[in-house]
Amino acid sequence: MSRVNRATAAQSLSVSLTVGAYGIAFGAASVAAGFSVLQSCLLSLLTFTGASQFAVVGVLGAGGSAISGIATASLLGVRNTLYGLRMAPVLQVKGLRRILAAQITIDESTGVAISQEHLGVKAARQGFWLTGIGVFIFWNIFTLAGALGAQAMGNPAAWGLDAAVPAAFLGLLWPRLINKTDRLLAVSACALALAMTPYFVPGVPIISTALLALVFGLRANLWR
């Protein structure tokens, strides 16, 4: 990687810092859900994909089994496979570099890379690596801070953490609700999960809503 485009570097850094700060919310949510500080940090280091991490601690914190937590998190992680497909021809990496590239293939690194493509493939590549590594560093530092902070707090409800966690989710979700189908799906998923909650073991009502996404996806007009 020779000279770094200034605009690319600036965008990578601002995305890294902004998104990294979400790590505080994750670290706090994870500890509030019963995970240790070490487990919270390992999730950020190894899983390293925000929505999946929030999902697994959310499901287990609500009393769900490990299997339903893993399944929910993994369904959310499938989009990283699609990002990888998109990025592979841009990055052209093999061996150890491909392993590193895979680990940092997330919403943000892919997003910045695509936004830099008009400056050429080199800028796209730099955007991917700078953003991926930047988010990785800040996400992990802020996870530790959030986890330690939550541990020092005591009862999460006294600090409003029990509302902060769903609010953080909502913040992740909100920008994705672009059209009517998205909003209808969101409301339907809330209704289905709540209706199922009294009758099913925790975790099942959440993952069941993936079927709603399937139904909506099959019915959606792709060319609208």
Partner 1 sequence: MEITTFDPLWLAVIGTSLIAFILKYLGQSVPKSWLSHPRILKINSLVPIALLSALVAVQSFTKDSRLIADQRMAGVAVAVVALILRAPFPVVVLSAAATSALLFKIQ
Which two three-digit tokens encode residue 103? 């680990």
x-marked contacts with partner 1 along 3-42 as a string, rule CB under 8 A? ---------------x--xx--x--------xxx-xx--x
From 12, 53, 116, 126, residue interacting with partner 1 (rule: CB under 8 A): 53
Per CB under 8 A, 197 contacts partner 1: yes
DSSP string across 119-138: G-HHHHHHHHHHHHHHHHHH
Per CB under 8 A, 194 contacts partner 1: yes
Which two three-digit tokens encode residue 208? 């069941």
How near is the Cβ of 204 to partner 1 at its closest, in Å?
A: 10
How near is the Cβ of 176 to partner 1 at its closest, in Å?
A: 6
- Closer to partner 1 by CB, 10 or 182: give it: 182
Per CB under 8 A, 111 contacts partner 1: no
How near is the Cβ of 6 to partner 1 at its closest, in Å?
A: 25
What is the sign, positive or negative, of the torsion defined by CA atoms of 103, 166, 63, 187? Answer: negative
- Closer to partner 1 by CB, 91 or 123: give it: 91
State how far the alpha carbon of 200 is from the alpha carbons of 28, 52, 193, 206, 207, in Å.
27, 22, 10, 10, 11
CA–CA dist 67, 84 (Å, integer): 25
Asked if residue 62 lies in contact with residue 201, where contact means CB atoms within 8 angstroms, the answer is: no
x-marked contacts with partner 1 along 70-89 as a string, rule CB under 8 A? x-xxxxxxxxxxxxxxxxxx
From 31, 56, 112, 113, residue interacting with partner 1 (rule: CB under 8 A): 56
- Closer to partner 1 by CB, 10 or 85: give it: 85
11: number of Cβ within 10 Å: 18
Per CB under 8 A, 103 contacts partner 1: yes
Per CB under 8 A, 217 contacts partner 1: yes
Q: Which 124-183 residues touch partner 1, going by CB under 8 A?
A: 157-174, 176-177, 181-182
Compute and round to an integer the Cα radius of gyration of the chain. 19
Which two three-digit tokens encode residue 64? 């769900």
Length of the chain: 224
How near is the Cβ of 192 to partner 1 at its closest, in Å?
A: 7
- Closer to partner 1 by CB, 103 or 115: give it: 103
How near is the Cβ of 27 to partner 1 at its closest, in Å?
A: 13
Per CB under 8 A, 99 contacts partner 1: yes
> What single DSSP character describes residue 157?
G
End-to-end CA distance of the chain: 40
Which two three-digit tokens encode residue 66? 């490990």
